[in-house]
Structure 1
Amino acid sequence: MELPRLRVAEASPPSTEDDLLMRVGQGDEGAFEELYDAVSPVVFGLVRRVVRDPAQSEEVTQEVFIEVWQHAARFDAGRGKAVSWICTLAHRRAVDRVRASQASRDRDLRQGIKEFQESYDDVQETAILRADGERVLGALESLSEAQRDAIKLAYYGGYSHQEVADRLQVPVGTVKTRIRDGMIKLRDKLGVA
């Protein structure tokens, strides 16, 4: 009795990255998995050298393979190898990420400097106003009580000349004279031109 012959299936040669990428361009998910397994270590290594941060390198690597899936049909085997094409995409993405990170850091630094300067300016302005206020209060003490009361009501109280006259129970003309004379003395005392 003769034994049946077993047919040995001839193993097809392994697909090259170029073949896999061409199949990915046709929507072959299995080819994409094979391509990812074959090329992702190289892509991650390239991205990692440019980006340096491991977490960002993983993100960029994922973005590269999304781009490979979406644009595999653009690959032209006549212009180069699939790995070169994918590495070019990876390098561009990595450089873009580094530039974006640097721009973000620069923007944050500029904003921090601006906020510091504004807070410094606020402190400086407050100190100047306080010093000026103290000088004005000191100069007010050099006025007569009548002049001081008229000026405080008009300038600090926000009252009109008539309202000041009513509060002090003096004629409006007297209030105007007291304010005018008091302001002249303040100007001389403070050295304002």
Structure 2
Amino acid sequence: MQPDQGRAVLVGIMGRLAVGEQDALGELYQRTSAKLFGVCLRILNDREEAEDVLQDVYLTVWRRADRFDSERASPITWLATIARNRSIDRLRQIGRRGGERPMEAAADVADAGPDAFELMAASDDGRRLRECLGALDAPTQTSIASAFYGGITYEQLAERLRVPLGTIKSRIRRGLIKLRECLAQ
């Protein structure tokens, strides 16, 4: 199946979900769960936690399917963002419980399938996103890629790059604004 066909199928499924069609959730799960589980597992580095978060992701998708806008993002991008955010939230909860694990350990988790960035890169949206990312300065590219595709929190990124947290937040915010403008052209 071509990337455009896959996107069209997922957009159709999301439309069916938005009107409450329960069968659509099962179909969406079948088509996307392996990739989204990979996103969760990369961030959490714990199979049970990743499974719990994945379930939460699909509950969120079920409740918020009507908010999906195919003009703003591809379905897999929207889903991967939810998976990433839920995984980071869970990682923070785990840390508060005292079982914090270093984020760098998540890089060792193997997943034979493409990650969220590779999936997007294979699509037309991904090609356009790569072009727009390439127009940003290197620190901004690195910060955005680490935060959104690497599953690293802003706090961890600030620590890793040895810059103030406010600098990271501002850099990413300005970069995302530039990306939005570039993608809108």
TM score, norm. by length of structure 2: 0.49
**Higher RCO, 1 or 2 (CA under 8 Å, sep at least 6)?**
2
Structure number with greater Rg is 1
TM score, norm. by length of structure 1: 0.47
